[in-house]
Structure formats: structure tokens, C-alpha cells
Amino acid sequence: MTAERRLALFALTAAFAIPALVYLTSASVEPASWDTAELQGVPYILGIAHPTGFPLYVLLGYVWSHAVPVASVAWRMNAMTGIAMAAASAAAFLVALEFGASVPVALLATLWFAFTQNVWAHGARAEAQVVAVACCAFAIYAFLRWMRGARDRWFLTAFALAGLGMAAHPNALWVLPAFAVGAVVARRRPPLKTVAASAALVVGALLLYLYLPLRSAYVVAHRLDPAAILPGAGGGIFWNYNDPSTLHGSIVELTGSDFSTPGYFLASFNPVHWKDAVVAFADGLRLQYDPTMLLVVFAGLVAAAGRDWRRTLVLCIACTAALIFSAIYPNEGDVGRYRLLASWIAVPLIGALTPPARGRFELLAHALLIVYLAAGAAVAFEHQRVFFRHAPHEGGRWVIDAVRPHVGPGSVLVTGWLDATSLAYGAYVDGSLPGRIIVSDDRLDVPLYRSWARRLPVFVLVDPHNVGVLPGAVDYATLDPYHELYAVSP
């Protein structure tokens, strides 16, 4: 092995290990709230998550959370996401080398990416999107290798990884148009049998979604869902969201139709929304890196296109197509997780700025680029150091502790999604709320809850700023200024 190759291998290891270490040491051991708490808990019990179910994430998380008996279940799932984000960072390093980056430039650009706020925030907490991004990142690398002349197995690998990414989160499907364009514009055409095999690999990966109806049927048959005893409750969170053992439940779970997702997906193809994607891309680079990054990335784009416009086109489509959907979808409280690849693209484009020659001017330009990237990575790291700080009983732990004295075992607790996932983690995962049935419902259907109260104690936890009087319920306890607990009368 040459010295140059040893250096590249060492830098690749660093491109993975440094972000991994940062994410693992900054991850919380406590359950979070909202979607994060759900994704921390559902894999451990092999449950059903909210649409679209994320079967690859759940199955990987089940194995990981049981095979790595370290700290809390919440930390284990945070750690799995951190490993996936570190893997995506390593893929960025490899793609940067594909576009002519020197090893120092590729490594420093990768570290800057890894330490940006949006990336670090999602790399240190449980997130299905990150597993999908890791699959997409290596799929892009594999496809670019094929376009450069590597064997057809790289073409197959790219589509297999894209399919797995879609099984982790459907947002990964936006890399497929890039691969279709790449197959058309590449200097060679993939054999028909390779195209067919690639399609079969994508379909094979998507068969993982069969987990949803099969596991749901098992949960129903073995009465694992505590909420199943409540008439009208439907599938309970964590265990059987949407009850995909039924045809209607499967359709809703797989399509996200209860959030009008299919309509917004189709609207993504309307060119009138493309300008929103451009704005989102520019704002993302400016906010996640620094204001000069727009100029740097544009210069890198010109340099990359000058070296190989075909692969540059594929890279750009693969990393930015999802921006259109993210810009128009209104039911997303964390749009940044849909835009991780849009900041990931900066690494290879910056790498393309590495001067191909080694004259005096080129060496100076190379040195300045290294200094710029090193300073950017250092500043980004310093700005995000807050992720290392964790307060006692942070995240969703405080609401678990606050509810416990007031809501005894054998009770039903209804609240909104934000807190319901934290409470479900305590009830179903770590046993800190044993015997409680957690129901997520923002509609506050008190007449339905009163019918449950004929059999079990029922409580409703609400934000008193948003809810005044609940007819049929009695104010029971104040947990904090934003959490009021009501007892429901039969």
C-alpha cells in the first residue's frame, strides 16, 4: 500500500470516527418527546411507528437496542443514529475524493459538515431520516463509481441502497430520479438485465414494509397493545399505530394520507414550487455553514462540472430533489431532517475546488482552502458545544416523573403527541410508568373518554393556554404552567 493510499485510509477512518465520537458523547440518555421519543422506543418493543412505519429503522433498531446493552434504551437509539450520520459523513469524504479533492480538503470539509447545527442535532438523537440519508449517501457514491467506469455491481449496489433507504424513510426515493438521469447521460449504458436486477433489488428492499401488517397482526392476535381494550381508540401508539393489520390501516400507514402527504408529494412536481427549493438550498448553506459558503459551493459546482458534468448533474439532482417536497409540506415540525443531503452536497463540491496542478499559485490557493475549511469546522464545533450539556431529567423524563404520582397503574392517560410519546416510552419501554395506558389524541374527544372512565380511571393532560374548560372532566393537578391534568368523570 502506497503512502498516499495509507493517508486516504487514515483520513477516511477519521471522517467516520471523529463525528461518531462527537455524536455518541453528546447524545442524551433520557427519552425525548415528539417523534424522537417514539423512534427511541418503538424499535425496542418491535412496535409500529407513525406513517410510514420506517421498517428498516425499526428492525435495525430492535437488533441494535438489544445487542448493545449500554446505558438507556433512549441513548442506544440515539447512538445508532449517530453511527448512521457518521457513516454518511464518511460517504461524503469518499465522494469528495471522486471529484478530485485532496485528502486534507475532503476531511476538513467533511468535519465542517458533521459539525453544522442541523447535522449534529439529528446525529445525536434517534431519527429514521438519518438512516435513510446514510443509505442514500453510499448509494450516490456507488452510482458515481459506476459512472466513472467501475463494474455493474456498483450500479446494482446503488439501487439496492436506495431501496433500503426508502425502507428506512420514503424521502430516500428522491435519489432515484438522479440515477435514472445518470443511466441516460452516462458514457455507457447499463445492460437491460442490470436495469431489471436493479429494479428487483429496490422492490426487494421495499418488501420490508410487509413488516407493518405482519407485526400488527401479531400484536392484535397476542393482545400486546394496551390501548386495544379501549373502544374507539384505534391502534395505540408505539404498539400498533393505525392498526395496519387492517386494509384501511395499512393504506393510511403506508401513504400518510391522514396527513395529506400524497397530495403534497404530487405537488412537488409542479415547477411553480421549484423556486422554493432554490431558496431553501441557499438559506441552508448560509445558515448551516456561513454566508460565504454560497460562493464557495457555486465555485465548486463550476469546477466539478468542468471536470465531469455528467456526474455533477447526478450529484446535484440526488442531493436537492427532496428540497421541493420539504419546502411545500406543511405538516412537518422539523423540516431540517428533510434537507440533510442538501448540506451534504457541499462536501464534494468544495472538494472539487482542490487545484489539479501544483504550481506556486495553486499551492497557495490549496493552503488557503485548507485554512478556510479548518476554521469553519472549528467554529462550527464551538458553536454546537451546547449539545454536550444535559440537564438532569431533561427531555421527556420530567413529564414522566411529574405524572407518576398523580396517575396510578391501571389508568388511562390521554394527551397530545408531543408528550404522549415520552409517556409511552415510560409506560412501554423502560417501565418507569408501569401499568398505564397512553393515548395520543389532539382532538380531546371527552365523551369518548367518559365511556372509558366507566371501566378505568381516565386522565387528560393538556396545555391550559390552549384548552379552557373540559366538560365532563375535573381539574386534578397542575404539573407546570403548560401542563394541567384533568380527571375524566364517567
Model confidence, pTM: 0.95
Contacts of 302 (CB under 8 A, 6+ apart): none
- Coil, strand or helix at 391: coil
Phi, psi angle pair for 29, to nearest 5° = -95, -10
Tens-digit pLDDT profile for the chain (490 aa)?
A: 788 889 999 999 999 999 999 999 999 999 999 999 999 999 999 999 999 999 999 999 999 999 999 999 999 999 999 999 999 999 999 999 999 999 999 999 999 999 999 999 999 999 999 999 999 999 999 999 999 999 999 999 999 999 999 999 999 999 999 999 999 999 999 999 999 999 999 999 999 999 999 999 999 999 999 999 999 998 999 999 999 999 999 999 999 888 778 877 777 777 887 888 888 888 888 889 988 998 999 999 999 999 999 999 999 999 999 988 888 887 777 888 999 999 999 999 999 999 877 778 888 889 999 999 999 999 999 999 999 999 988 999 999 999 999 999 999 999 999 999 999 999 999 999 999 999 999 889 999 999 999 999 999 999 998 887 788 899 999 999 999 999 999 8
Domain assignments of the chain as residue spans, ordered by start: 3-209+260-388, 397-488
Which stretches of 226-359 are DSSP H helices?
A: 247-255, 261-267, 274-288, 293-320, 322-328, 340-344, 346-351
**Number of residues written out for the chain:** 490
Task: Indicate the DSSP class of residue 83.
Answer: H
